[in-house]
Amino acid sequence: MRKKIIAGNWKMNKTLSEGLSLASEVVNIANDEVPADVSVVLCTPAIHLAQVSAIVKDSETVSLGAQNVSEHESGAYTGDISADMVKSVGASFVIIGHSERREYHFETNAQLAARVKLALDKGLTPIFCCGESLETREAGEHVDFVNNQLKESLFDLSAEEMSKVVIAYEPIWAIGTGITASSDQAQEMHKSIRTSLAGNFGAEVADGISILYGGSMKPDNAQELLAQPDVDGGLIGGASLKSRDFIAIAKSY
Ligand code: 13P
């Protein structure tokens, strides 16, 4: 059985006090209402992690994640955050390779491979993001493009390491646009990702990996997306900023 994961990516939103209120609301509602087999993850701005950690620490349902991590252990990297630091504040997940970071911070597949490896070595669960632009999809190259992202960032891991990675398929054209991939488009890509993982790591590993969908997921479209056989959860941006909407998605399984 694959883990069902609903992760909220707050991106660069919420002051500390706003973030703490949102986290408290999510924890309170999730503890009562989210089914026991669904894990909820809050990926907050790094500066909020330590204090949100205190809010989620007694919850069986909600855990904490960072939005990025350095590929370096420690040292003179002003403004960066190490895997040890993320771990030390009680976070257990980290988003790696979000398309916004690939675009605005020029993160490369090779750099992301190093981040995934270091995060795993430090006991964090990477949520590795992949996904194509509209141009790439319209050229019919989306499957090859995503496969190449997986190959260059993940395929040097051992099967045991890979089994600890969560993947998020986030088509760039669906992020923050209100345009969601259709359930067929999502299923097609998730299945292709799983097939590609099976080819490199074996069917058993591939069958155990949670593949999340991200891109304008909302309470009114979540159920159909989450009903697809290879969609194991969601990585939610905008709708994770409202506790009721976010929890409604987690409950729509
Ligand atoms: P939206 O849900 O706002 O489209 O964002 C998706 C996303 O990028 C999550 O990482």
Average pLDDT of 13-30? 98
Rg (CA), the chain: 17
Q: What is the mean pLDDT of the chain?
A: 97
Q: Note if the pTM is more than 0.85.
A: yes
Is a pLDDT exceeding 90 seen at residue 1?
Answer: no
Q: Of 65, 59, 52, 57, which is closest to residue 34 (Cα–Cα)?
A: 59
Using the mean position of ligand 1's atoms as its centre, give its distance from the Cα of residue 99 in Å. 10
Active-site residue 98, yes or no? yes
Average pLDDT of 6-30? 98
Is a pLDDT exceeding 90 seen at residue 15?
Answer: yes
Domain count within the chain: 1
Q: What is the pLDDT of residue 57?
A: 96
How do residues 220-243 score in pLDDT, each as one tens digit? Answer: 999 999 999 999 999 999 999 999
Range of the domain at 162: 4-250
Q: What is the pLDDT of residue 43?
A: 99
How do residues 122-153 score in pLDDT, each as one tens digit? Answer: 999 999 999 999 999 999 999 999 999 999 99
Using the mean position of ligand 1's atoms as its centre, give its distance from the Cα of residue 27 in Å. 21
For the chain, what percent of residues have pLDDT higher than 70?
100
Considering the candidates 48, 98, 142, 190, report the single residue annotated as catalytic. 98
Q: Of 223, 225, 229, 224, which is closest to residue 210 (Cα–Cα)?
A: 229
Using the mean position of ligand 1's atoms as its centre, give its distance from the Cα of residue 10 in Å. 9
SS3 189: helix
CB neighbours of 202 closer than 8 A, spacing ≥ 6?
A: 159
How do residues 45-80 score in pLDDT, each as one tens digit? Answer: 999 999 999 999 999 999 999 999 999 999 999 999
In this structure, the residue with its CA closest to atom 7 of ligand 1 is 237
Taking CA atoms, 97 is separated from 35, 149, 235, in Å, by 29, 10, 13
* pLDDT band with cut points at 50, 70 and 90 for residue 208: very high
CA distance 14 to 72: 28
Q: What is the pLDDT of residue 92?
A: 98
Q: What is the pLDDT of residue 26?
A: 98
Which atom of ligand 1 is least distant from the CA of 235? Answer: 9
Which CATH number fits the domain that encloses residue 67?
A: 3.20.20.70
* DSSP letter assigned to residue 179: P
Active-site residue 170, yes or no? yes
CA distance 176 to 253: 22
Q: Of 203, 194, 178, which is closest to residue 228 (Cα–Cα)?
A: 194
